[in-house]
Structure 1
Amino acid sequence: MIEIDNLNSSINILKYHAINAPETSGIYKMIDKHGALLYIGKAKNLQKRLSSYTKIANLNNRLQTMVSQINTIETVQTSSEEEALLLEADLIKNLKPRYNILLRDDKTYPYILIRTDHPFSPIIKYRGEKTVKGRYFGPFASVQDVKNTIATIQKLFLLRTCSDNYFATRLRPCLLYQTKRCSAPCVGKISEEDYLASVHEVYDFLSGKAEKLQQKLQQLMQKASNNMHYELAALYRDRLNSLKTIVAKNSNFKSIKEDTDIIAIYQKLDEICVSVFFLRNGHNYGNKNYFLKNNLLQPLGEILGSFIEQFYQLHTPPKEIIVNEALLDRALLQNALTTIAKNKVKIIDRLKKDQLNAKIFAEYNAQEALTQRLRAFTTQHQFATEIQKLFKLPTIPKRIEVYDNSHIMGSFAVGVMVVIKDFGFDKSAYRKFNIKSTTDSDDYMMLKEVLTRRLMNLKKKFPQYTASEWPDFLLIDGGAGHLKIVMQVLRDLNLSHHLNVACIAKGIDRNAGKEQFFTPSKPPFTLDKNTEVMKYLQIIRDEAHRFAITTHRAKRSKALTHSSLDNIPDIGKVRKQILLSHFGSIKAITEASFRDLAEVKFIGKKIAKVIHTYLHEGK
């Protein structure tokens, strides 16, 4: 309910700032009485834009709610609309105002890299700055899309995917050669010239020249068959069939020749899905769905424009962007993206006939993705309601945090936090904690450290307990002893009255289905193993356990790769790589003589003496 006095007061504040605002382009920030940022917007004319908020009759209920919270306004002038647009997108990304459309994605997309600094070029997944010498293809929508494409290339062209160290130490072909996924250049099963020819075929394939490759494979298959080399002909046939399948998958986008992103937006209720398809060199490199909330009931074209502003702050724009909604500031947005890309970018919202299939396909994908998400919301809401009843929570939990830890006799100890929100598991909110307080097998001390660090950080960042980052319910993998530790931490941090907690302990003989629950307010109890809420609690507990185990294994694996070279003075990452490339393995380096070490490029006699002395001082 909007308080009229608050709304009238905020309107007066708006009028004051509107009168004093310059009639130039810029951005404005709306701030509440607590200093929290409500909204950031851009304007061609700041005075006119702020004045528009004072006309209550033109504002929907949600806009009125936002306006009623305004306590002050800050403005920043810019030299152009384009600069205002870029500044707005940058500030929204960094400051995350409550009422703006927020793109919660700060990850770079993966690429395929074919290195050119080795005679037998490997094909690998790559993410980050393009500092490695080679040819890059992408971006791909996900790591899985990269893996699938590399797997296809292995089947079709038999390129290697192994590291240089592994390549240098092979004495016989690995399993990939036996399964026809690699040509085994490591042991001379293919000449450098023939391997390079395969690499160039991959360039053609990833550059959209699939038809040319199809013709070539057809000719090679026919030639092998005519010469009665039937096994070779069968190999070409299988490659040809795989290639035809890939070409068929791109049929919805066959009319699009330029590097293009297709962005489709779809809304149901106040939930929005934006689906982005990446088309490069005639290939569909996959798609990613983004889910937004239309907090202010803005038009879809306005929301899509805001999304594009933020999205291409993180990712390089392609030559063309096809959208399914007309944008309010299309020309302005085009100019801004051209500045970012450093080449001309075209936004297309009026499609030609041959582009309609691509738009319809992207729209359908966005619609289906949002439908599934809303279905997940309904299911999650039902389980959250059951949890509220079961544990007598004051409200239906919107954020559940599950905690677990993993270690081997206290070594490589980690704690983890898994988060469940309205739409299920939110993996972007998962957290890992490297245990620092103990090296013993003390689960209680580990739990105490993890919870203390997590909750102290929350208190520091979000002192208001109503913030959405605060959990409504904590579920701990453990029993009565763990509950005692949790309650101690909550008392120490004065949070006993703010957080609800329960522990879930495995049953007798660690039997799933006989779990016991421990809460501060009643004796331990269990549930019928066939009830849906029991199965759900097991699922979220098991997800925390899975995350803890994989995090622990990753930490242990990383520690095991620590070699004797890591402790030698003056041996950094570069020299270590030079030695490994030269000798092929740690064992070979250890067995090398002083003279062998000194002859390695960039090592020399002085460093060779340090290495040799260190590696042999215990012998």
Structure 2
Amino acid sequence: MNADGVREHAQSLPREPGVYQFQEGETTLYVGKAVDLRSRVRSYADPRSARIGRMVDRADGLEIAITDTETQALLLEANLIKRHQPRYNVRLRDDKSYPMVQLTDHDAPRIELTRDPAESATVFGPYTSVRQVETVVKALREGYGVRGCSDHKYENRDRPCLDYEMGLCSAPCTGEIDRESYREDVTAVERFLEGETGALADPLRRSMETAASQQNFERAANLRDRLEAVEAFHGEGGEAVQSVGDERTVDVLGAAIEGESATVARLRAEDGKLVDRDRHTLETPGVDGADGPVGGVAGAGGERGGVPAVLAAFLVQYYAERELPDALLLPERHGDDEVTAWLEAEGVSVRVPGAGREAKLVDLALKNARRNVGGHDECGMLADALEIGAANRIEGFDVSHAQGKAAVGANVTFVDGSAETADYRRKKLLEQNDDYDNMRELLEWRARRAVEGRDDRPDPDLLVIDGGEGQLEAARSALADVGWDVPAIALAKAEERVTTPDREFSWPSDAPHLHLLQRVRDEAHRFAVQYHRTIRDEVKTVLDDVPGIGPETRKRLLGRFGSVENVREASLEDLQSVSGIGEKTAETIHSRL
């Protein structure tokens, strides 16, 4: 569509408020609002930026919707941007990546981290640091014994699981604690999560002081670190927000831009107490971080670009479907007259504080925004791509053997995109030259331990199998047999295709969520090969070369002494104590090793 085409379209438009959409076929390229549709659309005949000029050149059609008021145009624009996600608009992406803590709606509530909370649960968050939340949740479980197990593990138990023995659960499942006392503990947990830090910090501090007085310094140091995490959990800015008049709710916004991505951090205060914080990502085509105008970003009429344009877009798109606060604190003016009129009509007080407590809160919101800008949330992107609730905790699996000999399985764990080596596990498998059966045996072992409560790790959000469709089917067969309901996918090395039970994905090679899966897959492979080499070297190369030592005698030796190194250090008398080892064979082993 050239300049003449734009003028021709504009000539037939009414001088009324409304919304316009530049189209390329069935695709919406840009959505804008206008007080005067004819005047606004005609301004695109001479666009103020090269980017909007390219958009106009691509467009082959124009659609309009007339509204009764400017406010209606504002809200319709927000809805259309959210629905069509036009390439040339500043647009808010709903961010599901930040973890929350939920207490489930059960007779004996469960505490857990989630990115997809149940509607019936009591939910706290979202939070920005997964590791900090995990530390605090563990401290809450140790302090109050609230269960963290799945319903499958909880039901039909006749004895407490390992969590009870470790002091992480008071075992309401078997009646080790009565329901009334358990509910009191859950209430204490809720008090802490609502902001009463002392509910957990005070008993932790007492335990730390007791451990120090008993000269148990290692435990005291551990408790000190946990106490610091707990005291920092509700973060800076926890001081009361100075309300003015009847302002009960106050939202504080900070924004930062990098490239074609922006982050808006929002702090929420109710009744003078900071109760919530979250961050949201926006696509910002054509917006830079400067305060000067960026023509065409929010329309061709000359609105300001940079942070003001981001704030204006966020305010409308975020609050169009949510209840507005009584007051908004912003780092700078958004500069959009229609947004100003809408907020005034809704009775929202908008302030840009220059000093004092409110300015400190805006600074905190800006710090939160700058911390995330330009970053990729691989876990959230992966969960969205696979359409699962979360992908924060991932376990990877691989098997390794040499023609069926020294077969082993590896199970690695990634939390929030990073390897959690303390949660790595490995297993010797039956010696068989069948990758599918080996994978089935490995997954059945992992699933059975989880279902029976013999694994001290939390259930993962996702299982990643090193291999293709065959390995995935073997793994899913094992999961179904045991009854462990965890999503599983496979990633093969050949074409880097992600296989799920329903389809295959071929993501771009630079996709961050693909890189996350590759790290998990490659680490599982490395860990499996390393363990296989250890078993192969110890069992095959060393002991199998000793005359008179067959497979059964080798197993008895390793069963008796635990390792080749211990066999090497054993005396002749100790060697002869093993069934099948005589004096001559013992001397041969001693000399060879």
TM-score of the aligned structures, taking structure 2 as reference length = 0.53
Matches within 5 A, 1:220-619: 242=226, 245-257=229-241, 262-268=252-258, 270-277=259-266, 279=268, 282=273, 287-288=278-279, 290=281, 292-295=283-286, 297=294, 298=297, 299-300=305-306, 301-312=308-319, 321-329=328-336, 332=339, 348-350=351-353, 353-370=356-373, 405-408=468-471, 411=474, 432-434=499-501, 450=504, 542-543=518-519, 545=521
- Equivalent residue, structure 2, for 1:396: none
Q: Report how far residue 16 of structure 1 moved.
A: 2.6
**Deviation for aligned residue 1:250:** 3.8
Q: Supply the AA of the counterpart residue of 1:405.
A: G
Deviations 1:454-497 (A, max 9, x none): 6xxxxxxxxxxxxxx9x6x799xxxxxxxxxxxxxxxxxxxxxx
Q: CA deviation at 1:41?
A: 0.8
Alpha carbons of structure 1 residues 89 and 213: separation in structure 2 relative to 1, 3 Å: same
Partners of 1:541 and 1:217 lie apart in 2 by 38
Q: CA separation in 2, counterparts of 1:191 and 1:54? A: 75
Provide, for residues 176-207 of structure 1, a one-character-per-residue CA deviation record: whole Å limited to 9, x for no partner: 23333222333343333332222222222122
State the distance in 2 between where 1:541 and 1:206 align: 33
SS in 1 for 2:236: helix
- Residue in structure 2 matching 1:11, options 3, 9, 20: 3
> Which has more helix, going by share of residues?
1
Task: Measure how far apart 1:99 and its partner are.
Answer: 1.0
State the 1:82 CA deviation.
2.9
One of 163, 174, 181 as aligned partner of 2:161: 174
Deviation of 1:29 after TM superposition, in Å, equals: 0.5
Residue by residue, what CA displacement relative to the aligned partner does 1:77-97 show, whole Å, maximum 9, x if unpaired? 123333322222222222222
RMSD over aligned CA atoms reads 5.1
Q: Identify the match of residue 81 of structure 2 among 92, 98, 105.
A: 92
Q: What is the aligned partner in structure 2 of residue 40 from structure 1?
A: 31
Cα distance 1:69–1:274, how it changes in 2: closer, same or farther (>3 A)? same
Which residue identity is paired with 2:170? S
Residues 325 and 349 in structure 1, CA contact (< 8 A), matched pair in contact too: yes
Q: Which of 6, 11, 14 is 1:22 aligned to?
A: 14
**Aligned twin of 1:611:** none
SS in 2 for 1:290: strand
- 8 A Cα contact 2:132 2:233, kept in partner: no
Offset from partner CA, 1:514-535 (integer Å, 9 cap, x none): xxxxxxxxxxxxxxxxxxxxxx
Give the Cα separation in 2 of the matches to 1:295 and 1:305.
Answer: 15
What letter is aligned with 1:306? A
Give the counterpart letter for 2:191 in structure 1.
Answer: D
Q: What per-residue deviation string (whole Å, max 9, x for no partner) do you get for residues 145-173 of structure 1?
A: 76455334223332112234533433333
The residue aligned with 1:121 is: 109
Contact 2:267/2:365, CA 8 A, preserved across alignment: no
- Aligned-partner SS, 1:87: helix
Displacement, 1:265?
1.9
Instruction: Tell me, yes or no, if the aligned pair for 2:201 and 2:231 is still in contact at 8 Å.
Output: no
Offset, 1:42: 1.4
Q: Distance in 2 between matches of 1:415 and 1:221?
A: 45
In structure 2, runs of 5+ residues without a counterpart are 242-247, 288-293, 298-304, 377-465, 477-488, 526-593
The CA deviation at 1:363 is: 2.5
> For residues 241 and 140 of structure 1, do their structure 2 counterparts lie closer, same or farther at Cα, with a shift above 3 Å needed?
closer
| Percent of aligned pairs with the same amino acid | 23
**Could you say which residue in structure 2 is the equivalent of 1:157?**
144
Partner of 1:194: 181
Deviation at 1:241, TM superposition (A): 8.3
SS at match of 1:42: strand
Question: Which letter does structure 2 place at the counterpart of 1:178?
Answer: E
C-alpha contact 2:70 2:338 (8 A) present in aligned 1: no
Counterpart Cα distance in 2 of 1:356 and 1:286? 17
Q: Distance in 2 between matches of 1:22 and 1:546?
A: 61
Please give the alpha-carbon distance, in whole angstroms, between the structure 1 residues aligned to 2:147 and 2:517. 40
Verify the 8 A CA contact 1:86 1:336 in the aligned structure 2: no
8 Å CA contact 1:113–1:137 kept in 2: the answer is: yes
Does the residue aligned with 1:434 lie in a helix, a strand or coil?
A: coil
Q: Partner residue of 1:495?
A: none
- Measured after TM superposition, the shift of residue 360 of structure 1 is 2.2
Distance in structure 2 (CA, Å) of the matches to 1:360 and 1:371? 19
**Letter aligned with residue 20 of structure 1:** S
Q: TM-score, normalised by structure 1?
A: 0.51
CA separation in 1, counterparts of 2:311 and 2:260? Answer: 13
SS of 2:332 mapped into structure 1: coil
